[in-house]
């Protein structure tokens, strides 16, 4: 599949997100009971506060000092390497989530949501308003300030780590969505096409994507 086409409207600007509220009405058990996969979404955009809370739940900073002196995150990672970057595709463009700065850093203008992100899989109706792209940065594994175990430099072991770490983030998103009445869908994507569109450097690899929004009919 060829790289997704992009339009370059006015340059994107960084978006400072509201501080995460960190509150919810459901218990973890109740959210687990509601967790499901949704493939039909309303096109309605998420309010800034809800988007901030979603990204914080995914892999935001939940303590200033975590393992090995780095900040702690809501999602665990190998030796606190925090090697999974979360790109946020919205209608006007795609951003990189800066968890420490709690902001969206502009990457590319234009709408990348849609077939490139779902790889032709069945999404019923309009595109989800938010689509997350999970990208591993191998350099963060090999140069982590955490415990330098030999496996961090072994390709097969690296792969096992970054797939697990991606799954942890995706699970956080699923639980947050369930607690907030949102729908979520973790799925495959056009890895080469998105890597080109996002202008990734060597050592960065697109892994999966996840669609989030209000369920159709809600």
Residues 72-118 have pLDDT tens digits of: 898 999 888 899 999 999 999 999 999 999 999 999 999 998 766 76
Q: pLDDT-based confidence at 6, cuts 50/70/90?
A: very low
d(C-alpha 110, C-alpha 42), whole Å: 20
Tokens of 187: 């799925």
Compare 159 and 114 and report the one with higher pLDDT: 159
Question: How does DSSP assign 93-104, residue by residue?
Answer: EEEEEETTTTEE
In a domain, 16, yes or no: no
Tokens of 14: 């960084």
In a domain, 102, yes or no: yes
Q: What is the reported pTM?
A: 0.89
- Owner of token pair 């200033």: 64
Compare 2 and 52 and report the one with higher pLDDT: 52
* CATH, residue 41: 3.40.109.10
Name the phi and psi angles at 8, rounded to 5: -115, 85
Domain count, the chain: 1
Q: pLDDT-based confidence at 151, cuts 50/70/90?
A: confident
In a domain, 7, yes or no: no
* pLDDT score for 7: 44
* pLDDT score for 118: 66
Name the most confidently modeled range: 20-34, 54-68, 164-178. 164-178
Range of the domain at 161: 30-108+118-213
- Assess whether pLDDT exceeds 90 at residue 168: yes
């Amino acid at each position: 599949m060829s790289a997704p086409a992009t339009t370059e409207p006015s340059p994107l600007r960084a978006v400072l997100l509201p501080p995460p509220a960190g509150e919810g009405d459901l218990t973890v058990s109740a959210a687990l009971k509601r967790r499901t996969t949704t493939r039909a979404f309303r096109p309605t955009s998420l309010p800034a506060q809800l988007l901030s809370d979603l990204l914080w739940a995914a892999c935001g900073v939940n303590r200033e000092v975590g393992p090995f002196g780095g900040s702690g995150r809501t999602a665990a990672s190998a030796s606190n390497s925090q090697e999974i970057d979360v790109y946020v595709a919205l209608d006007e463009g795609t951003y990189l989530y800066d968890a420490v700065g709690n902001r969206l850093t502009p990457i590319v203008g234009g709408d990348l949501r849609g077939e490139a992100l779902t790889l032709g899989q069945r999404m019923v109706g309009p595109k989800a308003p938010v689509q997350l792209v999970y990208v591993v940065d191998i350099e963060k594994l090999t140069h982590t300030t955490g415990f330098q175990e030999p496996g961090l430099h072994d390709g097969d072991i690296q792969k096992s780590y970054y797939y697990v770490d991606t799954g942890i983030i995706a699970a956080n998103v699923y639980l947050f969505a369930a607690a907030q009445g949102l729908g979520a869908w973790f799925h495959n994507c056009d890895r080469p096409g998105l890597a080109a569109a996002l202008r990734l450097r060597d050592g960065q690899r697109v892994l999966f994507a996840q669609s989030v929004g209000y369920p159709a009919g809600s």
